[in-house]
Amino acid sequence: MSSPPGQLPIRPPRTGPWFWRLPLLTILALVSFVGLVTWFGLAQERDERRAMLISDTLWMEQNLRFQFESTGNELLRVGNQFGIGGEIHSDAAQEKIRELLQGDSGLIAILWLDSNGLLLSTLPASAAPIRLSDEHAITVMRARTLNRPVYSPPYAQPDGMGVIELALPVFGTNDFHGYAIGIFSLPKVISRHVPWWFAERYRLSFIDGDGKALAATTDAGSISPEAGFSVRFDHMNSLGIRVDSYRATTRVTPLLVILVLGGLSLVIAWSLWMLRNRVLRLQETESALRAEHAFRIAMENSTQVGLRARNLQGRITYVNAAFCRMVGWPEDQLRGHQPPMPYWPEQDAAMQTIEPLHLADAPTKTAETRYRRQDGQLFDALVFEAPMIDADGVHTGWVGSVLDITERKRTEVLAREQQQHLEATARLVTMGEMASTLAHELNQPLSAIASYSAGCLNALKAGRFDEKQFTDILGKINYQAQRAGRIIHRIYGFVRRSESRREQMQVNAAIREAAGLLEPDLQRRHIKLQLVLNEDLPLIHGDRVMIEQLVLNLMRNGMDAMHDQPDTRRMLRVGSESCSGGVRLWVADQGGGVPAEIADQLFDSFFTTKPEGMGMGLKICRSIAEQHNGRLWFEPAEGGGTSFFLQLPLGEADDA
Ligand code: ADP
């Protein structure tokens, strides 16, 4: 974020990024820890399962071995009891053998061999021809040699059934009788002697010496990839069992824990990240606000404009240093103050009306007023008051800026006085310029009076006294004296006054006065004057002498402009007319016109093209027009020359 020019730089957020990494690191550590614990737990569980698999396998091996042994013993006992001769076919023997075949022994066939190993009988007789082991002869031989039960290597029947052959040497009372051969079906052994809980948890298979499975429990699931465990039976010719555990379903739980924990951690990390961004943004905003605040304070302290805020009840809620300096009251005495304010002039009733004005729902206001400093001194103040609208758009009070305009007012008064002096001086100068003409004009009635009175004296001296003639001459003297008096009166009226005086006045009267003053000059210069006056004009509010001065200046300029024109063109026309909202007067000459290159400078001070000119005439005319809220301008006149127009409003002018 860049700071505005002159504004204090925005400080970076104070909290370093490490602060925000800490919770993230903690979450990471927690997740790792839980992961490790779960992993160890799983490993431990795996080890435990393996240990259980081994012990279950060993137990099973023992169990099966015991079954094989007890079946072998049972078969031997039958053989020994009945002998391999004819008695084995006795009912009792048959009964025993049927029991053996039908019971849980796992035997599918029993063969009786004589002492030479020749087959005497096969039980059950109905059984399909039994395939004997490839090592049948060796097995029988070893049984005889070792004089104990011997197992053949496991092998498969033509239908694929895994079997194992047990050869038992049978003795009668003392003599060797022959052999009993038991064929164990391995699937049958499994189905009879592997308990359900074992088959549910593991797959058990009988394996041969090469580890090839000959029979197995029915599959109850998929096999775990962990290694199974195999064990060989002692003295059972490479027969062994292999136990594989099924894939554990309980593993879902730790995985779920990890997943849920991971998910939750992600959510926490994400929300932390969002929180961090938000806090950083808040910090940035706060920092920007602080800089903005400092910038504002600096601005407020540097400004010379007094600032003041008030709530809707008029109570002061804020003042700046400049306002305190202006009124001389300390901030703590102003803040919270309710009307009447200590800086209101005690006697000033106007104040009571101006200030409560703003309490109403009024738009922005500008008012000139007077305030009182703490030392009692009064000063002029210009107050701009605007409604204070808060962030929700609610009008909560007023903010005012206050300017001490005492000095400005003093300067304005001075300037006005100077302007009046200038105008008065300009009138005197005009009169000075017209002095010879006026003296000549005045000379006429005075010489007439002198010659009339001399004529009277001579007549009296000669003793001629004709009452009628005397009355006639005195009448003429009186007329000439009045004429001289009028001229003097005009001059006196024109130059006498220096201060401005406004009244209801006739524009035509001012035109006639000016024309009267210029009459001798017009005659001297052979200029015809034509007045085109509208006698129904409304009155205007203005200074008669000023308007007269303006008309006189315009007429004199028009006369000057025609000085090199032939007599036929020397015609000055002055007129008045009403216009929308006021009256308009005009002065039109038939001079050379205003050259375009000087048109812009005509109203400038001291701009003149005349050798004896002062260049202040039009400048004064324009300031008179402005003082009357009017407008002065010029246009080329019809038929050559220039027309000057003055438009004045009917309303009251600013009597500045
Ligand atoms: P001054 O009469 O002393 O020169 P003004 O301010 O009255 O001063 O006039 C300034 C100039 O404007 C004149 O010098 C003249 O060149 C020009 N001017 C004024 N009135 C007319 C007019 N009616 N026709 C042509 N030029 C004019």
Mutation to probe ligand 1, out of 557, 621, 644 (largest number of atoms < 8 A from CB): 557
CA distance 247 to 635: 113
On the question of pLDDT at 2 being above 80, the answer is: no
Q: Where are the alpha helices (DSSP H) in 400-526?
A: 406-461, 467-496, 507-524
Residue 22 one-letter amino acid: L
Residue 408: pLDDT above 50?
Answer: yes
Over 124-153, what HEC string results? CCCCCCCCCCCCHHHHHHHHHHHCCCEECC
Beta-sheet strand order (sheet of 306-311): 316-319, 306-311, 395-404, 378-389, 365-372
pLDDT at 352: 56
What is the rounded average pLDDT for all residues in the chain?
Answer: 85
Superfamily covering domain 502-656: Histidine kinase-like ATPase, C-terminal domain (3.30.565.10)
How many angstroms does the Cα of residue 648 sit away from the middle of ligand 1? 22
Using the mean position of ligand 1's atoms as its centre, give its distance from the Cα of residue 613 in Å: 8
- Write the CA distances from 170 to 66, 86, 112, 628, integer angstroms: 21, 14, 10, 158
Q: Whose CA is nearest to atom 21 of ligand 1?
A: 557
Question: For ligand 1, what atom is nearest to the CA of residue 561?
Answer: 24
> How far apart (Å, rounded) are the C-alpha atoms in residues 607 and 618?
9
| Residue list, ligand 1 pocket, CB within 6 Å | 553, 557-558, 561, 589, 591, 594, 602, 607-610, 613-619, 642
- The pLDDT score that the predictor gives to residue 362 is 53
What would the mean pLDDT of 188-213 be, rounded to a whole number? 91
Average pLDDT for residues 459-486, to the nearest whole number? 88
User: 14-249: which CATH topology?
Assistant: Beta-Lactamase (3.30.450)
What is the band of 539 on the pLDDT scale with cuts at 50, 70, 90?
very high
Q: What are phi and psi of 392, to 5 degrees?
A: -90, 5
For domain 303-404, give the CATH number: 3.30.450.20
Would you say residue 4 has pLDDT above 70?
A: no
CA distance linking residue 629 with residue 636, whole number of Å: 24
Using the predicted structure, report yes or no on whether residue 356 has a pLDDT greater than 60: no
| pLDDT value of position 348 | 58
Q: In sequence order, which residues have a C-beta less than 8 Å from that of residue 442 and are 6 or more positions away?
A: 484, 487, 488
Ligand 1 nearest atom to the CA of residue 602, by list position = 12
Residue 299 is predicted with a pLDDT of 85
Q: Whose CA is nearest to atom 1 of ligand 1?
A: 615
CA dihedral 442, 445, 447, 452 (to 10 degrees): -160
Query: What's the gap in Å between 605 CA and the centre of ligand 1?
Result: 11
How far is the centre of ligand 1, averaged over its atoms, from the C-alpha of 609 (Å)?
7
What is the tens place of the pLDDT at every residue in 288-334? 999 999 998 888 888 889 999 988 888 999 999 899 999 999 999 99
Residue 289, CA distances (Å) to 8, 283, 341, 396 in order: 11, 10, 33, 22
Tens of pLDDT along 540-573? 999 888 899 899 999 999 999 999 999 999 999 9
The rounded Å distance from CA 558 to ligand 1 centre is 8
Q: How far is the CA of 345 from the centre of ligand 1 (A)?
A: 50
| Ligand 1 centroid – CA 425 distance (Å) | 18
Q: Which residue's C-alpha comes closest to atom 13 of ligand 1?
A: 608
Q: pTM for the whole thing?
A: 0.49
First to last CA, the chain: 51
Q: At how many degrees (to 10) do helices 617-627 and 406-461 cross?
A: 110
Which atom of ligand 1 is found nearest the CA of 608?
14
Is domain 406-499 annotated with CATH 1.10.287? yes
Measured distance CA(516)–CA(510) in Å, rounded: 10
User: Are 14-249 and 303-404 the same fold in CATH?
Assistant: yes
Q: Is the pLDDT of residue 634 over 80?
A: yes
- The predicted structure's pLDDT at residue 281: 92
- Of 583, 571, 540, 579, the closest CA to residue 643 belongs to 571
Task: Please state the domain extents for the chain.
Answer: 14-249, 303-404, 406-499, 502-656
**Under 8 Å CB-to-CB from 22, ≥6 apart: which residues?**
none
